[in-house]
Every structure is written in C-alpha cells, then in structure tokens.
Amino acid sequence: MFDARCLMFDLGGPRRPTACQGTVHTIVKRTAAFTLPKQRGSESVRGFTLTELLVTMGVLVVLVLLFTQLVNSAATTMTLGNKRMDADSQARQLLDRMAIDFDQMLKRSDVSYFVKTTGNTEAGNDQIAFFSGVPGYYSQAGYNSNASLVAYRVNADSTSASYNKLERMGKGFPFNGAYTTAPIPLLFRDGTSNTTIQGAWPAACYPSCNSDPTYKTDPDYETAGPQVFRFEYYYLLSSSPSFGTANQLSAGPWTNTDAFSASVKDVAAIVVAIAVIEPKSRVLLTDSQLTTLAGTLIDFGASAAAGCPSPNWQAPGELQRQWQCVLDNTSLPRPAISSIRLYERYFYVSQ
C-alpha cells in the first residue's frame, strides 16, 4: 500500500535510504506509465500549398474551356447544317417545279417565246416566258386551264414585297377557239407582235420587253423562291443546231426570239443556275446590298470578275465556280455570305 509518510519524508527531509524507498520507486514507475503521447510534428498535418492550388485551378479552367469549345463547335455545326437544309429544301422545290414546266413546254415553231438571244442578252437576273401544258391560274370560274403561260423572274421592283425574290407566273388559258367568251387564249404566231408574248402579255417579260410601269405587276405572279436572289440560264445546243456549234454550251446564238421560235429544236437542254440565301442570314444584308451582290455574280459568257480566273465556259459547272469566287472575295458580312448556296441543274428538252 501507499504510505503518505514515506512521500513526505522523501519530499521534505534529507535523502537517505529508508524502508519507503522501494515504495516511492514503485509509484514513480507506475506514474510514468500514464504519460501523454508526444504531439505530432507540423510536417505530418500539412495542407495544400498555394502552388498546388493554382495548378489544380489551371487544369480545371483548361478542361472547362475545352468543354465549352466542344459545345460551341457542335452548336455551330448544327446551325450550319440546318441552314444548308433550309436552302436545299427551297432550291429542290423550285427546281422540281421548273422541271415540270420545262418538260411540258410547247416546242413549236408557230408559238412565241421570250428567251435570251444575242439581241436580248439580259444582263443580271434573267427572265424567261413560254407556253407549257400545265394547269395555271384562270380568271373565270367554269373554264378549264389546258395550258399556261409560264414565266420566271426575280422581282426588281423595290416597292414590292417580293423584291429580290424569284417569282413564277402560271397564267392559265385554253387553246384557240375552245371558248368564245374566254380571255385571250393561247396564241399562234401570225407574223405580228400582237401574237407574241411581249405583245399580248407584256407583264410576263417586264421590264426587259416593255418598261411601262403598268406591267410591273400581274395577279398571276406568285413567289416561288423567296430566298432566291439570282437567276441565270443558258443552253446546251443539240447535235445538229441551225445556229451555233453542236453540243456546245451557249448563252443563245439566235439573233432574236423569232429566230428562237423557228429553231427551238436547236435546244437540247436549258441549264438553270440560282443563288439561294438562308432566311436567317438574309436579314444581315439590306436589299441594296443583296441587289449589288446579285449584280456582281457574272452572266454566263461574260468576262471573269475581279480577282477570279479566266472562265472556260464549255466546262460544266464553270458558272458556279465563277460565282463562288465572287462570294469568296466580297467584303460583305461573312456570316451572311457563308450561308449562300449555289445550285445548277440541266433540264433536258424532249424533241
């Protein structure tokens, strides 16, 4: 047992051997057994250094930037894809409509045509008008439209809601003598201007054939290509033409429309080229800018535009290449220009 006297003796009196000495040693040893463990050094509980935090944050920022760029790239690709799909859809509908009209075009020497010739070069946007065996709009109820006067143009009237948009006329009427009280029927040429398209229906070729502003509008015109701002066509001649060189591409070797009528079978195909701008990108350009841009897209057979290579007009697709060169070099806003799509199709004319 512990003896308090031994403790007092050891603390206060002179140290000498005593019978309590062994007892004290025992207590000291037992007390030492309950000593608290040493605290850990500062190096064992250290945190992240400033350098490590900065490196971690830098890596995180890089990963976020890469992910953001990936998302933006995917969004841009999807937007461009949607724009091209919109342009492709409109061009396909228009060209398919043209295919029907040209396939049913009357190819006779005794009917009138309004087309490009050496005497009617039609600088800029072209116009074409012809008779076709397709239904059209008819002004009187109860009459059947057995044929139509079909015309295509890009509206050049700055006051019109269809300005810089491609329009189609489908004026329906019967053949001669089918109805005695009907409006002007399909006319066969008698050698006078009264039986020509430009003489009887000047609205079909305004302003190329008649600049009278009363003919600038016609109720039978409808917008067929609201995003088409450039329209050009030329010809592939047949193997034995009366005018021009066989099997060659031509802007029109005939001297006038009468010569074309007499030699309509010289045409093996009519080649149509159009420029289409996507609707959301169209708003980035003013009507004036769009008109100027259409004017810089050169005509078939013309000299090369500034900064573009000399054209080889007998090479298929040359007109598209020249137009693309102009688009690549224009100073107009690139987001709008990059959304312009060019199309070309051959419409073979059955003989």
Per-residue pLDDT at 26: 47
Per-residue pLDDT at 271: 96
Domain membership of residue 140 (yes or no) is yes
Per-residue pLDDT at 32: 47
Per-residue pLDDT at 27: 46
Terminal Cα distance for the chain, rounded:
136
What's the DSSP call for residue 86? Answer: H
Number of domains in the chain: 1
Per-residue pLDDT at 326: 96
Domain membership of residue 326 (yes or no) is yes
Closest Cα to residue 344, out of 242, 275, 255, 294?
275
Per-residue pLDDT at 235: 95
Domain membership of residue 287 (yes or no) is yes
Q: Which residues partner with 232 through β-bridges?
A: 273
C-alpha dihedral over 303, 290, 216, 124, to 10 degrees? 0
Closest Cα to residue 214, out of 206, 224, 222?
206
Domain membership of residue 20 (yes or no) is no
pLDDT average per 10 residues of sequence, the chain (351 residues)? 48 50 48 52 67 89 90 75 76 94 91 90 92 79 76 93 94 65 72 87 89 87 94 94 91 88 89 92 91 95 92 95 95 90 92 65
230: domain range? 77-348
Helices (DSSP H) in the chain: which residue ranges? 4-12, 21-32, 50-103, 197-200, 257-262, 279-282, 287-296, 318-329, 334-337
Domain membership of residue 43 (yes or no) is no
What would the 3-class secondary structure string for 166-208 be? Answer: EEEEEEEECCCCCCCCCCCCCCCCCCCHHHCHHHHCHHHCCCC
C-beta neighbour count of 312 within 10 angstroms: 8
Per-residue pLDDT at 2: 47
Domain membership of residue 245 (yes or no) is yes
What contacts 72, CB < 8 A, 6 or more positions away? none
Domain membership of residue 230 (yes or no) is yes
CA 49 to chain centre: 55
Closest Cα to residue 117, out of 24, 244, 280, 294?
244
Domain membership of residue 67 (yes or no) is no
